[in-house]
């Protein structure tokens, strides 16, 4: 009974008036047809010499049209039998085909659709606060939602389509249905109590979102992505607190990972006085030695916190052997890295420019960083409508051997693949690795599931657009909690576990138990870089750790109750560059 009542209520709503009119018109047409057949039945029976009531005529017509055909009333003449066939066929078409499908199309399916939409929430519970409002469900927002859930931040994804909302809800994502341009949506999502609003659609829609949110709340921080540089001012004027160009940030990050032009330490980030750098081992006296034999900590003072081997991150041990393809991940002060450069670093004059495959916003940003580092480069772009610096741009297909040869692929120290299509990036990684087995391949990934494929295809280093953008937003929410060195490799900061207090670093067995490396210890206003095995922990210590996601998760499982803490802001690249 409850189901029938809910259907009737839905049928009588204003949105269903058109459907009701269609059903009524069809029902009236069928009633008129049944009446005509009943009248003809009456006269044909009189023709055969039999007399039936008008009610019997309706009874016979409905039993024949519905194919029940009880057989208690039949015609004896051919004319009557022909009439019976006509009534039967029209009943099959109208009662058994047209009417059911019309009922399903204009009544039942809209009702089911309304019931499904009712399942998707449209507002957050009273008392919700310090949550993050995500206004899109693109790969960046999906990656950010996953990290927010991992770090126990409350969030909600605003979706305009109820069916898409239910699909995301089935994937255990927290969603709400609402129109992005309606202030009522943000009122229902308690935006005045939110910690952050993220607008990541297109420049015009992001502007609309910012203006709409500001109608509801003047104080909530709004972060937006700008596709073009001209939109930055407009987005800021519309009310955005911070505006980023994620594609530009990605291009700059990719370019800073070029190593083939020198064996010196290439600084890629820093926290306070602690610098993080990458240094290729090729053409140095370190090749063939173990980390213990290299004696880097004792002679130089730097700590080898990781190694890259053809795109694979390796947690170092004393017995780890350094190969020509090894890239050392170093942590140290400016003086320590300068000492390393003096002892092992040497400039290498490349015979050909660095190649950038793809001349879009990511490729152009990568080229600008290389130019600032006085590294020659060539951008290969297939679309001639994309205007670039004529001196550094070659138009043609990156899959064409003649174009690559013209650009200098055989002598190039590195190639940066920046297209927005992962399938193309996989194809180009395989092709470049086949042409030049020793070239450094740095690649962009758009979807998380393709990162491992790009490494398998030959990429030495892969940076995910979604992860990079998500980490940028996450660091704005909690400054200093997280810094992504590469996909899946992070630096983070935590308070010292209580079980470590009074123990030395060697006694804690931190690296053995978790796979993380300790690169610094912050104590009040002092940061101890690369502490030795005899360093004794105290309650006031804060640990700066580096490792991949598995090691990070292992740490928080072993030391339950630990939380990341805010630290001084991590900086990347140029602002930390060693001069």
CATH assignment at residue 384: 3.40.50.720
For residue 131, which phi and psi values (nearest 5 degrees)?
Answer: -100, 165
pLDDT at 185: 93
- Answer whether residue 481 is part of any domain: no
How many angstroms separate the CA atoms of 379 and 402, rounded?
15
User: Are 377 and 434 in a shared domain?
Assistant: yes
User: Are 340 and 449 in a shared domain?
Assistant: no
User: Are 23 and 104 in a shared domain?
Assistant: yes
Two tokens, residue 68: 């029940």
User: Are 7 and 107 in a shared domain?
Assistant: yes
What is the DSSP-derived secondary structure letter of residue 121?
Answer: -
How many angstroms separate the CA atoms of 287 and 281, rounded?
6
pLDDT, one tens digit per residue, over 93-102 is: 887 777 777 7
Q: CA nearest 116: which of 181, 186, 170?
A: 170
Domain boundary among 322, 344, 366: 344
User: Are 33 and 94 in a shared domain?
Assistant: yes
Q: How many domains does the chain have?
A: 5
| 37-41, 326-330, 365-369, 413-417: least confident range | 326-330
pLDDT at 345: 74
How many angstroms separate the CA atoms of 459 and 474, rounded?
27
pLDDT at 541: 87
- Going by pLDDT thresholds of 50, 70 and 90, the confidence category of residue 190 is very high
- Going by pLDDT thresholds of 50, 70 and 90, the confidence category of residue 153 is confident
| 127-141, 259-273, 412-426, 557-571: least confident range | 557-571
User: Are 71 and 40 in a shared domain?
Assistant: yes
What is the mean pLDDT of the segment spanning 244-262? 83
CATH of the domain at 534: 3.30.70.1450
Q: CA nearest 202: which of 121, 136, 295, 258?
A: 136
pLDDT at 362: 92
User: Are 137 and 239 in a shared domain?
Assistant: yes
For residue 429, which phi and psi values (nearest 5 degrees)?
Answer: -65, -45
User: Are 424 and 510 in a shared domain?
Assistant: no
> Which segments of 460-525 does DSSP mark as H helices, in order?
465-477, 505-508, 510-514
- Answer whether residue 529 is part of any domain: yes
Domain boundary among 313, 344, 375: 344
Domain residues for the domain of 181 are: 132-244
- Answer whether residue 255 is part of any domain: no
User: Are 89 and 13 in a shared domain?
Assistant: yes
pLDDT, one tens digit per residue, over 295-336 is: 888 888 888 888 877 667 787 888 889 987 788 888 888 888
pLDDT at 217: 93
User: Are 361 and 334 in a shared domain?
Assistant: no
User: Are 340 and 359 in a shared domain?
Assistant: no
Q: Which residues pair with 440 in a beta bridge?
A: 414
Two tokens, residue 489: 């490799």
């Amino acid at each position: 009974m409850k189901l029938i009542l809910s259907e009737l209520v839905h049928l009588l709503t204003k949105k269903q008036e058109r459907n009701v009119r269609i059903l009524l018109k069809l029902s009236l047409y069928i009633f008129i047809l049944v009446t005509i057949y009943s009248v003809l039945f009456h006269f044909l029976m009189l023709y055969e010499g039999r007399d039936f009531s008008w009610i019997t005529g309706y009874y016979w017509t409905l039993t024949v049209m519905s194919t029940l055909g009880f057989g208690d009333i039949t015609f004896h003449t051919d004319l009557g039998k022909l009439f019976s066939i006509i009534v039967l066929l029209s009943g099959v078409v109208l009662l058994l085909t047209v009417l059911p499908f019309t009922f399903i199309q204009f009544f039942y399916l809209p009702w089911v659709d309304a019931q499904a939409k009712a399942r998707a929430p449209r507002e957050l519970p009273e008392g919700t606060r310090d949550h993050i409002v995500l206004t899109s469900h693109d790969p960046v927002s999906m990656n950010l939602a996953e990290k927010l859930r991992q770090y126990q931040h409350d969030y909600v994804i605003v979706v305009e389509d109820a069916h898409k909302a239910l699909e995301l809800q089935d994937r255990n994502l927290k969603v709400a249905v609402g129109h992005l341009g309606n202030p009522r949506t943000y009122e229902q999502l308690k935006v005045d109590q939110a910690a952050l609003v993220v607008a990541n659609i297109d420049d015009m829609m992001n502007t609309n979102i910012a203006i709409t949110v500001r109608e509801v709340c003047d104080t909530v921080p709004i972060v937006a992505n700008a596709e073009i540089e001209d939109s930055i001012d407009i987005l800021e004027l519309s009310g955005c607190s911070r505006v980023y160009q994620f594609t530009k940030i990605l291009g700059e990050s990719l370019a800073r990972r070029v190593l083939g032009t020198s064996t010196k330490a290439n600084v890629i980030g820093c926290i306070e006085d602690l610098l993080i750098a990458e240094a290729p081992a090729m053409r140095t006296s370190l090749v063939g030695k173990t980390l213990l034999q290299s004696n880097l900590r004792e002679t130089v003072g730097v700590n080898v916190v990781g190694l890259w081997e053809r795109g694979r991150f390796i947690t170092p041990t004393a017995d780890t052997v350094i190969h020509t393809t090894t890239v050392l991940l170093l942590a140290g002060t400016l003086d320590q890295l300068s000492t390393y450069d003096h002892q092992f670093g040497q400039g290498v004059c490349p015979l050909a420019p660095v190649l950038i495959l793809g001349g879009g916003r990511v490729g152009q940003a990568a080229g600008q960083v290389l130019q600032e580092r006085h590294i020659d480069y060539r951008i290969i772009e297939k679309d001639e409508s994309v205007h670039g610096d004529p001196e550094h741009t070659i138009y043609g297909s990156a899959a064409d051997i003649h174009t690559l040869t013209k650009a200098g692929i055989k002598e190039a120290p590195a190639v940066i693949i920046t297209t927005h299509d992962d399938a193309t990036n996989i194809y180009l990684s395989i092709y470049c690795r086949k042409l030049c087995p020793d070239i450094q391949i740095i690649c962009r990934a758009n979807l998380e599931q393709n990162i491992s494929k790009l490494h398998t295809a030959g990429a030495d280093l892969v940076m995910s657009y979604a992860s990079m953008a998500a980490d940028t937003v996450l660091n704005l929410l909690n400054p200093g909690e997280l810094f992504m060195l590469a996909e899946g490799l992070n630096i983070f900061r935590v308070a010292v576990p209580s079980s470590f207090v009074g123990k030395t670093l060697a006694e804690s067995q931190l690296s053995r138990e978790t796979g993380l490396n300790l690169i610094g210890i912050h104590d009040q206003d002092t940061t101890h870089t690369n502490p030795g095995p005899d360093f004794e922990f105290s309650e006031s210590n804060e640990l700066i750790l580096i490792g991949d996601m598995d090691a990070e998760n292992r740490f928080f499982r072993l030391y339950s109750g630990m939380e990341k803490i805010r630290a001084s802001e991590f900086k990347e690249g140029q602002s930390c560059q060693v001069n």
